[in-house]
Structure 1
Amino acid sequence: MNFENNLAFAKAQDEADILKDFRGQFLFPNHNNKNFIYLCGNSLGLQPKVANDVLKRQLDNWANHAVEGWFEGEEPWMFYHKELKKLMAPIVGASPAEVCPMNTLTVNLHLLMVSFYQPKGKKIKIIMEGGAFPSDQYAIESQVRFHGFDPKEAIIEVFPREGEEILRTEDIVARIKENSEEIALVLFGGINYYTGQWYDMETITKAGHDIGAIVGWDLAHAAGNVPVKLHDWGIDFACWCSYKYQNSGPGGVSGIFVHEKHFSNTKLNRFAGWWGYQENKRFKMEKGFIPEVGADGWQISCTQVMPMALYHASLQIFEQAGFITPLRNKSIALTGYLEFVINQVNKELNFQQYKIITPKDSKGRGAQLSIIAKEKGKEIFDGLVADYILGDWREPDVIRLSPIPLYNSFEDIYLTGQSLLKVSRKIINT
Structure 2
Amino acid sequence: MHYQPTEAFAKEQDRLDPLAPFRERFLFPQTPSGELAIYFCGNSLGLQPKATREYLEKELQKWAQYAVDGHFWAEEPWYTYHQHLTKPLARLVGALPHEVVAMNNLTTNLHLLLVSFYRPAQGRYKILMEGGAFPSDQYAVESQVRLKGYAPEQAIVEVFPRPGEHVLRTDDILAAIDENKDELALVLFSGIQYYTGQLFDMPAITKAAHAAGALCGFDLAHAMGNVPMQLHNWGVDFAAWCTYKYLNSGPGSTAGVYIHERWANDPATPRFAGWWGHNQQERFKMEKGFKPMPGAEGWLLSNSNILSLAAQRASLAIFEEAGIEALRRKSLQLTGYLEWMLCHQVGCDKWGIEIITPSDPEARGAQLSLLVKGGKPLFDKIDEAGVICDWREPNVIRLAPAPLYNSFQDVYTFCQIFTKALQEITL
- TM-score over 0.5 for the alignment? yes
Secondary structure of 1:167's counterpart equals coil
Take 1:128 and 1:407, find their aligned partners in 2: how far apart are those partners?
33
Take 1:289 and 1:315, find their aligned partners in 2: how far apart are those partners?
32
1:199 has 2:197 as partner: no
- C-alpha deviations, 1:130-173, integer Å up to 9, x for none? 00000000000000000010000000000000000000000000
Partner of 1:173: 174
Partner of 1:14: 14
Deviation at 1:222, TM superposition (A): 0.3
Take 1:65 and 1:96, find their aligned partners in 2: how far apart are those partners?
30
Alignment of 1:26-41 (within 5 A): 26-32=26-32, 33-41=34-42
TM-aligned CA distance change 1:350 to 1:247, over 3 Å: closer
Take 1:414 and 1:344, find their aligned partners in 2: how far apart are those partners?
12
Take 1:365 and 1:154, find their aligned partners in 2: how far apart are those partners?
29
Q: 1:406 aligns with which of 396, 404, 407?
A: 404
Letter in 2 for 1:426: E
Partner of 1:328: 328
Partner of 2:272: 271
- C-alpha deviations, 1:334-358, integer Å up to 9, x for none? 00000011112443x7714321000
TM-aligned CA distance change 1:8 to 1:346, over 3 Å: closer
Percent pairwise identity: 54
Q: Could you tell me the TM-score, scaled by structure 2's length?
A: 0.98
Partner of 1:156: 157
Take 2:40 and 2:265, find their aligned partners in 1: how far apart are those partners?
43
Q: Could you tell me the TM-score, scaled by structure 1's length?
A: 0.97
Larger mean CA deviation between 301-310 and 337-346 belongs to: 337-346
Q: Is the 8 A contact 2:346 2:418 kept in 1?
A: no
Q: Is the 8 A contact 1:372 1:399 kept in 2?
A: yes
Take 1:399 and 1:189, find their aligned partners in 2: how far apart are those partners?
20
Q: Is the 8 A contact 1:346 1:354 kept in 2?
A: no
Q: Is the 8 A contact 1:248 1:310 kept in 2?
A: yes
Query: Number of matched residues?
Result: 426
Letter in 1 for 2:263: H
Partner of 2:353: 354
- C-alpha deviations, 1:406-430, integer Å up to 9, x for none? 000000000111111000001128x
Superposed CA RMSD in Å reads 1.1
Alignment of 1:6-405 (within 5 A): 6-32=6-32, 33-321=34-322, 323-347=323-347, 351-374=350-373, 376-405=374-403
Take 2:97 and 2:426, find their aligned partners in 1: how far apart are those partners?
52
Deviation at 1:121, TM superposition (A): 1.8
Take 1:74 and 1:360, find their aligned partners in 2: how far apart are those partners?
49
Q: Which runs of 4+ in 1 moved over 6 A?
A: none
Unaligned runs of 5+ in 1: none
Unaligned runs of 5+ in 2: none
Q: Is the 8 A contact 1:342 1:354 kept in 2?
A: no
Secondary structure of 1:293's counterpart equals coil
Take 2:114 and 2:269, find their aligned partners in 1: how far apart are those partners?
10
